[in-house]
Each structure stands twice: as structure tokens, then as C-alpha cells.
Amino acid sequence: MNQRLLQFLHFVHFASKHSICHKSCLSSCLFFQESRKRVKLEKKEPLVESQLFIMELARELNRICQRSNILCHIWTSEDIWLASVCRDFIVEWAGVLEKRVQPRIILSDYQYEKPEKRDWKGHLLCMLESGGEHDLGPHKRVIMDWTREIKSRPKPTVWPGEPVLMMLDDLEFQWKRGRLPNLLPAMELVMLAVLNADSPTKEDVTKQWLVRKQSSQKIDAVRYIPHSVWNWICDAAEEVTLDSDSANPDLFISSDEKRMRCGLECRDASHSWQRFGWWCAVGREGYACGRHYWEVEVGERDWRLGVAKASAVRQGFRSLNTDTGYLSLRLERGTDLKALTVPAIPLPQSLAPRKVGVYLDYEEGQLSFYDVEKRSHLYTYNEKFTEELYPLFGTVEVVKDLVVRPADIRQPCLCPGPCLWN
């Protein structure tokens, strides 16, 4: 009897131990299976014109851009986008092409056609019946003219370059794992690669892709940042330390100036214009040029991260938002995550991270926030910076420290294609 009991206890211990190890793998597989089920269900629905256009565009780009076989998943209906996503893509990229290449292309007859006068009620009814598809004709023609012009050249194919191919491999790998809802990032990357090949000034397309995404979509622009781009962001890592002279007297800062939390008693501190009235502190070093990146481990209930302009007033209890010189994200009550613009912009609760990466590109005018563990985008401020910016930190938690992570805590990934370790 005792022997059977021991065997049973050993079995339970072994099963619980290994269930923890396989929990993340199982959840990833289940997510992947659910995404595939959704694709199968969508295949049963009739496709609208914008979806068919995206499929045909993927086929054309696959012919133009060498080794872009990832796009086969789109034009073979393995990856079907929502109609709204297709429409937004068509309108956005038609605008890009009109600015960058349209003057070199012979204008189509449609551009000189005057729109027919239409009764507004009939126009609205037509929009509702067609789901907004009928207004996309001019935008589609801009994209079609562009691909037609490229195919008419003596050398109609484009070599995207090894960095782009490595990133396409990474995106395809993550899409198959279920981390990407669709292959829209791959389509955008191929479009940029083709445009870059035709441009007199060559750019790093992989970096241009991220900067462009964060400019056009401030919230949740990228669900997964490929590791080659992530390495580039982390190359700008700075050793940030907290400035105790700026900290609110209620805040306790560690001796190495890397940790802070709200104390139960107010400490003695000299009054100064540099010291915050709110429960905040800034970093010792400010930045007036270049790229800078730092990571912070945050609490589950309350935190504030971002930058403070040199001219921003710290004393008193005025709101710390864009009107007063602060660009930041704030988590309150564990669920209320928002960008402190005027008015504040609420962010999805699902985006609330445990480790936050803050990336400042001064010349580009971007301050971006990332979920370090998911390697995904949270929010980006786009602004022309004209003065020194100081890293900003805030918390009212009394148990868990807010921790500024060391700059060398993460080693760059050296995998040539999709990361084998992440």
C-alpha cells in the first residue's frame, strides 16, 4: 500500500513539474490552432474586392521582388486579411506612391475624369451596400500603375538585400507560430524594399519600416519587432541612474540609484525647483541629440515612464502631460494604462507590460514605448524636439520597487535568420 502511495505521489510531482515547463509552449500551440481555425472560417466567406486586390498585389510583388516567397501565403489565401485592413492598406500606400513615384509615371486617364454628381442619399446607400469598396478605384489604380511601370523595365526584378530577407524569414516564422495576426508587415517591408531600390538615396529598409510604422500608427503599431530591428534599438542602450535631488521626498531611492519605491515616511530633503511635487524623479543625464534606450521593471499597480523637457515645471501638483512638458505613459489601479496627452489616450488593458523599453530618437522626433518581454510596440510620441529631455520615472507603490535595468543586461541576438533562442 505504501509503495503504491509513493508511486502516486511521485507521478503527481513529476506531472506538475513538467506541466509548468510546457505551459508556454501549449498556450502558443493553442493560439496557433485557433488562428488557423479563424482563417478556415474566413475562407468560407466570399471575399470582397479589396481582399482580392491585396491577393493580386502580393502575387505581383512576389514577381518583382526576388526571394519574397513569404507573399505566397497571401495570394494563395492562407493569410486572409480583414476587409477593413485591406482598405486601409490600399489607401495608405496609394498616398505614399503618389508622393514618391507618381510624377515619374504616365498619368492614367482616370486622374482627369471628373466625379459624377450623385445624390448624397444614394451615395451613402451605395457605401453601405458595398462596404466602402467603391471609393477605392483611384487608389487601386495608383498602385497598379506603379507595378505596371516596374514590370515594363528592362530589369523588372528587384534584389531586396540580405537584411530584408532575414527579416522576412523572421516574420514568416513568427506568423506560423501565431504571434502575428497576418503578414501585413511583410507586405509593407517588400513595398519599401522595392521603393528603396528605385531611390537615388539608399536607406536601411528594416529600420525605415519601424520608424514609418510608429509615425503612422501611434498605438500598438507592431505586434512583434523582428530581432534584427530589436538589436538595433538595444544598441542605443544607456546606463540611466535616478537623480535623488529631483525625487519627491516620499520616494526611497537605493544607494546605486537604480531602484525606487514610495516610502511610508517622508524623508528630510532640501526644497529645490528641481524636486518633484508628484511622486516622480528624473535621470541624472539629459539628451539633446542621438538615439537612447533604457529598460525599466515596473510594478503591477502604478507607474509612470517617459521623458521630461528641461523647461517643464516640477514643483506643485499640476498635471504632468504634453501641455506641461511631459511625454509619458501611466498605469493606474493596475488596469488603466494611458498616454498622458491632452486629452489622455487610453490604451488597451492587454498592453500593460511588466518590463518597459523606452526608446528616444531625438533627430527622428520619436519617443517610443515597448513591452520588452513580448517585444511589441505600445505607444509612440511624434514631436519635433527642441530642448534637452530627461528620463522620467514615477510610482506610488510601497512594496514593489521600480527598477532601472543595467544597459548591458541584454546581449544582442546573433542568429542569422529567425531567432532560435527566443
Checking if the pLDDT of 37 tops 60, the result is no
76 alpha carbon, distance to own chain's centre: 27
Checking if the pLDDT of 386 tops 70, the result is yes
Give the pLDDT confidence score for residue 16 in this predicted structure. Answer: 45
Give the pLDDT confidence score for residue 6 in this predicted structure. Answer: 46
* Average pLDDT value for residue range 166-188: 94
Report the side by side order of strands in the sheet with 355-361.
Answer: 251-253, 259-262, 402-404, 291-297, 355-361, 366-371, 376-382
* Average pLDDT value for residue range 326-347: 94
Percent of the chain with pLDDT over 90: 62
Which band of pLDDT confidence, cut at 50, 70 and 90, is reported for residue 283? very high
Find all residues with CB under 8 Å of 199, minimum gap 6, and list them: 100
Which band of pLDDT confidence, cut at 50, 70 and 90, is reported for residue 201? confident
Give the pLDDT confidence score for residue 299 in this predicted structure. Answer: 85
Checking if the pLDDT of 107 tops 80, the result is no
Of 339, 358, 228, 376, nearest to 292 by C-alpha is: 358
Give the pLDDT confidence score for residue 349 in this predicted structure. Answer: 85
* Average pLDDT value for residue range 183-205: 92
Q: pLDDT tens-digit profile of 111-150?
A: 434 444 445 444 444 444 445 566 788 999 999 999 999 9
Higher pLDDT among residues 387 and 99, named by residue: 387
In this structure, of 169-178, 263-272, 310-319, the range with the lowest mean pLDDT score is: 263-272
* Average pLDDT value for residue range 352-375: 95
Between CA 86 and CA 96 the distance in angstroms is 15
Checking if the pLDDT of 193 tops 50, the result is yes
Between CA 236 and CA 361 the distance in angstroms is 9
Which band of pLDDT confidence, cut at 50, 70 and 90, is reported for residue 46? confident
